[in-house]
Structure 1
Amino acid sequence: MAGLETRELECFLVLAEERHFGRTGERLFVSQSRVSQLLRSLERRIGATLVHRTSRRVTLTPLGERFLADLRPAYDALAAAVEGARAAARGVGGTLRVGFQGTADARLVRAVTAFHAAHPGCETELVEIPFADPFGAVRDGLVDASVVLLPVEERDLVLGPVFSLRQQTVAVRAGHPFAGRPALTVAELAAVPLVRPAPPAPAYWRAVQAPGDLPGPEVTTLQEGLSLVAAGRGGLLLCRPTADHHRREDVVFVPVDGLPESALGLVWHRDRETETVRAFARAVAAEPDGAREGVSRTRR
């Protein structure tokens, strides 16, 4: 199989049907000499003659007849597999696996519902991905697309609709001096050690999720972070919807004034983009509370 050329096989199959070098060239849109070249190359690869050539006719050798009988079904199966993959890439179907960090919130669920209504033949699975590894599941092919916290600067990933821009809050333990405050300033937040996502999250992404010069403990999941907050080990920045979803008696969420808003984005791998992924991205962008007008964008 080393160095096997499908063009040589195609040439042999057409020649076996036409039994004429000129007509074979016409069907393949190549010259008659090119047909001869392809056939000679295939025969050298096999190590035997497949075709008897005369000035008037072309016949297959016994080995050529046997090779034809074995090759035809295998070639047809290969062509069908390629066409099936192309059809799947062009169409919307199969199962779409969507990753999310922390919580599959109402906006994501509404997008999934709208996507199913538009494409009833497509199934969707929601998969939680680690807080500290926002891009790994997409890269490894474990999910087809993921909803992740911004920023996204990965060259092999496409950033689709950006949505859910919300004020950030800091989670602190109940009883913390800041727990009773209606809001904090950025300067006051600088006095709080912040729980940080652990690697393999990239350094630029980790820095945005935990800004400041007071490093707190590193965690891999959101629940680990909230548990450390409850134990008084530091604060944890969360967007307002995630904070609302994770209310607990031993943790208080305080808004922070002056920080850039948090945002979510849908990402997928550049080399595995399909029409199904694009259709889901359109469903996410179309949600009225899921994507602010003028904010949805794509990195190309």
Structure 2
Amino acid sequence: MELRQLRYFVVVAEESGFGRAAERLNIVQSAVSQQIRVLERALGVTLFDRTSRRVRLSAAGERLLPEARAVLAAADRARDVVAGILAGTEGVLRLGTVQVPGDRMYRALAAFAALAPRVRVRLAKLPPAERLAAARAGELDAVLVRALPPGRTAGLESVPVWTDPLYAALPEAHPLAGEPRLRLEQLAALPLRLAPHERNPPFHALITHALRVAGVEPPPAPPFTSLQATLAEIGVGPPSWTVFYEVSGLPPAPGVVFRRLAGLTVTTSLAFPSGPPAPAVRHLLRACAP
């Protein structure tokens, strides 16, 4: 049974004749008759009672007619859904997320909902390396990642969407704590707590590149673990510092001060598989625009 045959069957039933059905379908009458016979053989029933004067539905045809209409309506809805998916107005967008300051993410999702109200957003929270791997594998349609270089990189395209300042956290008793802003060169002698490369490759690369450009190589320190634990150790342990970005305000940390790093920012990018972005991803890029 084919959708074309069901469509011919419905039109013949509505027109009460093969000739008028052929005119409406804009095909020859013999083609309509042939397809109806094929459908009857496939179903094993007679759908029309035919005489030399008229064609009318058989009992089997009367019973099948509402079901055929329902099947055709479902097929039309499926085509509409597929067309919407291709246009980016239907479907599911699988998005890997990051924590961002304030209500930025909520505003972006609200703007996306206004652009594509029938697209559901499925959020996934993964560590940066796993987030990027999921995008490369096609398991996520797009991911938000900090410090990812713009353009094409390792099977992904990335487009910058937000930029935020970076902060240094250092002991409040340190001589540099009185400075309103700090340059990396000023921190050259203070041991740096930085998460290992594998924890967050883009951010690690951003900081190590900035240090190289500044011509400084701070002494090593125990690695950054979590922000809360690292700040606690900076506040009470041997002098050291770390660099971080704000996600929910500057955290309270006894014995620690925060200072903006001059000339150093972190950019959050939207990354997606290489090639032109899918329509839903294009909507998301518009929604993330300032």
TM-score range, shorter chain: 0.5 to 0.7
Partner in structure 2 of residue 17 of structure 1: 14
Partner in structure 2 of residue 6 of structure 1: 3
* Shift in alpha-carbon separation, 1:45–1:17, aligned structure 2, 3 A: same
Unmatched 5+ stretches in structure 2: 210-219, 235-239
Partner in structure 2 of residue 221 of structure 1: none
Picking from 202, 205, 209, the partner of 1:208 is 202
The Cα shift of 1:263 comes to 1.5
Greater Rg by CA: 2
Could you tell me whether the CA contact under 8 Å between 1:25 and 1:31 is conserved in 2?
yes
- What CA distance in whole angstroms lies between the structure 2 residues aligned with 1:245 and 1:281? 25
* Shift in alpha-carbon separation, 1:188–1:48, aligned structure 2, 3 A: farther
Could you tell me whether the CA contact under 8 Å between 1:101 and 1:147 is conserved in 2?
yes
With the length of structure 2 as denominator, give the TM-score of the two structures.
0.56
- What CA distance in whole angstroms lies between the structure 2 residues aligned with 1:284 and 1:195? 28
The amino acid across from 1:264 in the alignment is T
- What CA distance in whole angstroms lies between the structure 2 residues aligned with 1:215 and 1:58? 90
Indicate the percent of aligned positions where both proteins have the same amino acid: 28
- What CA distance in whole angstroms lies between the structure 1 residues aligned with 2:44 and 2:187? 79
- What CA distance in whole angstroms lies between the structure 1 residues aligned with 2:42 and 2:186? 71
* Shift in alpha-carbon separation, 1:252–1:28, aligned structure 2, 3 A: farther
The Cα shift of 1:59 comes to 3.4
Partner in structure 1 of residue 244 of structure 2: 238
Could you tell me whether the CA contact under 8 Å between 1:225 and 1:236 is conserved in 2?
no
* Shift in alpha-carbon separation, 1:55–1:15, aligned structure 2, 3 A: same
The Cα shift of 1:177 comes to 9.9
With the length of structure 1 as denominator, give the TM-score of the two structures.
0.55
The Cα shift of 1:248 comes to 3.0
- What CA distance in whole angstroms lies between the structure 1 residues aligned with 2:17 and 2:190? 82
Corresponding residue SS for 1:101 = coil
Corresponding residue SS for 1:195 = coil
Partner in structure 2 of residue 293 of structure 1: none
- What CA distance in whole angstroms lies between the structure 1 residues aligned with 2:32 and 2:80? 25
* Shift in alpha-carbon separation, 1:63–1:245, aligned structure 2, 3 A: same
- What CA distance in whole angstroms lies between the structure 1 residues aligned with 2:221 and 2:19? 75
**Alignment map for 1:35-114 (pairs within 5 Å):** 35-52=32-49, 57-76=54-73, 79=76, 83=80, 100-108=97-105
- What CA distance in whole angstroms lies between the structure 2 residues aligned with 1:283 and 1:11? 45
Unmatched 5+ stretches in structure 1: 200-205, 219-223, 291-300
- What CA distance in whole angstroms lies between the structure 2 residues aligned with 1:111 and 1:34? 54
- What CA distance in whole angstroms lies between the structure 2 residues aligned with 1:34 and 1:130? 57
- What CA distance in whole angstroms lies between the structure 1 residues aligned with 2:197 and 2:38? 57
The Cα shift of 1:249 comes to 1.3
Per-residue Cα deviation, 1:104-134 (whole angstroms, up to 9, x for no partner): 4255556678x49x89x99x99978344354
The amino acid across from 2:268 in the alignment is L
How many residues are paired up?
257
Per-residue Cα deviation, 1:30-65 (whole angstroms, up to 9, x for no partner): 444443454344334434443455665433333222
* Shift in alpha-carbon separation, 1:180–1:74, aligned structure 2, 3 A: same
Partner in structure 2 of residue 262 of structure 1: 266
Corresponding residue SS for 2:253 = coil
The Cα shift of 1:226 comes to 0.8
Partner in structure 2 of residue 163 of structure 1: 161
Partner in structure 2 of residue 298 of structure 1: none
Coordinate RMSD, CA, aligned = 5.6
Per-residue Cα deviation, 1:144-173 (whole angstroms, up to 9, x for no partner): 97654353769998866x333344445567
The amino acid across from 2:280 in the alignment is E
* Shift in alpha-carbon separation, 1:41–1:256, aligned structure 2, 3 A: farther
The Cα shift of 1:13 comes to 1.2
Partner in structure 2 of residue 247 of structure 1: 251
Corresponding residue SS for 1:210 = helix
The amino acid across from 1:183 in the alignment is R
- What CA distance in whole angstroms lies between the structure 2 residues aligned with 1:35 and 1:72? 17
Could you tell me whether the CA contact under 8 Å between 1:99 and 1:146 is conserved in 2?
yes
